[in-house]
Chains A and B, each alone.
Chain A
Amino acid sequence: MALITQRVDVPVIVDESKCLEKCTACIEVCPLDVLAKNPETGKAYMKYDECWFCLPCEKECPTNAITVQIPFLLR
């Protein structure tokens, strides 16, 4: 899978102000393991450019910090 180099145009968007440093809920539920923790900030981010738009990350986040942007043609 291709690494994400720029974090501005990825489907899984994490609101860092809401993301909890000790929480790994989204990382654990992602079936593709594309989410990871940023070691510098402790916040979750989308590490690999691959997504099934299955939404558990958004649903399981305890603070509603995650938004998955589903492409128009998949809606």
Chain B
Amino acid sequence: MSNDIDSELNQWLEMLQSSDLSDRLVAVKSLQYLGDEDALEPLIAALGDESLAVQKLAVTALWELANPKAVPALLECLASPDLEIRAEALSALGELISPDRLLLLLDALHRDDLNMQLNVLILLRKIHDVQSLPYVLPFFESENAQLREAAVTTLRYLNQVERCDRAIPLLSDPDDSVRRATVLTLGHLVDSEVVPRLCQVLTSDLDWQVRRNAAKSLELHADPAAVVALELAIADEHWQVRKFALQAWQKTPDNRTMPILIQALTDEYSDVRREAAKSLAALKNPAALNALQQSLDDPDRDVCIYTQRAIETIQAATKEISNA
């Protein structure tokens, strides 16, 4: 039996050296199915094949073999001129990379290649090691927006990072995607000093996705200092900003905003109406009962259920107070 496998393996390994492209394609595909560890070195060598199709299949085969010895060779594929090879290698490394390869990744980050740097920044998110922070920070000043976005997103995944002053200027980045990533990252840091900046972004950024992400971040911070900005955001022109502002607001309920919440019960988007009902439940103020009663016949079933729950919550809270 093992002799049969060996002879089959040798047959494909021999074919992998053929000058005929179709032979090499068949060989690399067959080696992928065979899954024999002895094919590791030939498959690594096939990553340097002149044909991009063979290279891509070799990456897939190495991914399936899942041998950590292939990591350095796969890392080189991250700089391939072919998009499909880069994407396949990135997916493979996403599963094969381990924290002991951190230095290898940091070395690769120094290479003057945009694709390599971009992909390594993505891979660093799998390792979460704060040691990579000094290597990530210089990319905040990169001229390339993709690198700035990747770096600030990676920052979010690094353990033990509580504040990062160098990320704050990216809130005024000219590129929308960089600003979107930056506001989300600042939500994941524990630094409460960023709350006023997030509030400013929430009320004044021109891109609605940046404003929405700012609302999401403020929900994570749950800082009462954001109430005024959230109040303004509940009247934002985009429904997603209104929805996430209401969600953030639920973390720091404030009776002063009740009239705005009651108004939000009549919003044209049902998601916003649902969040308004949940927010009124969080307030537990009986003055909202009348408005909630009127929302019980909302055309959206979800809104009706949450309105009913809000009414029950407020009634239970009122009863508790009167009993006390």
- Residue numbers of A with Cβ under 8 A of B are 20-23, 25, 28, 60, 62-63
By a CB distance below 8 angstroms, the chain A residues around B53 are 62-63
Q: What is the bound-complex CA distance between A20 and B53, given in angstroms?
A: 13
Interface of B is mostly: helix
Quick one: which of A20, A23, A62 has the most chain B CB within 10 A?
Answer: A62
Say yes or no: A62 contacts B57, CB within 8 Å.
yes
Say yes or no: A20 contacts B33, CB within 8 Å.
no
Q: How close is B147's CB to chain A, nearest CB, in angstroms?
A: 32
Interface of A is mostly: loop
Kindly report which residue of chain B lies nearest to residue A61, judged by CB atoms: B29
Say yes or no: A22 contacts B33, CB within 8 Å.
no
Kindly report which residue of chain A lies nearest to residue B53, judged by CB atoms: A62
Q: How close is A43's CB to chain B, nearest CB, in angstroms?
A: 12
Kindly report which residue of chain A lies nearest to residue B54, judged by CB atoms: A62
Kindly report which residue of chain A lies nearest to residue B27, judged by CB atoms: A22
Contacts A60-B29, A63-B53 supplied; 16 other A-B pairs, CB < 8 Å: A20-B25, A20-B26, A21-B22, A22-B22, A22-B23, A22-B26, A23-B22, A23-B25, A25-B29, A62-B25, A62-B26, A62-B28, A62-B53, A62-B57, A63-B22, A63-B25
16 contacts between A and B (CB under 8 A): A20-B25, A20-B26, A21-B22, A22-B22, A23-B22, A23-B25, A23-B26, A23-B29, A25-B29, A60-B29, A62-B26, A62-B28, A62-B53, A63-B22, A63-B25, A63-B53
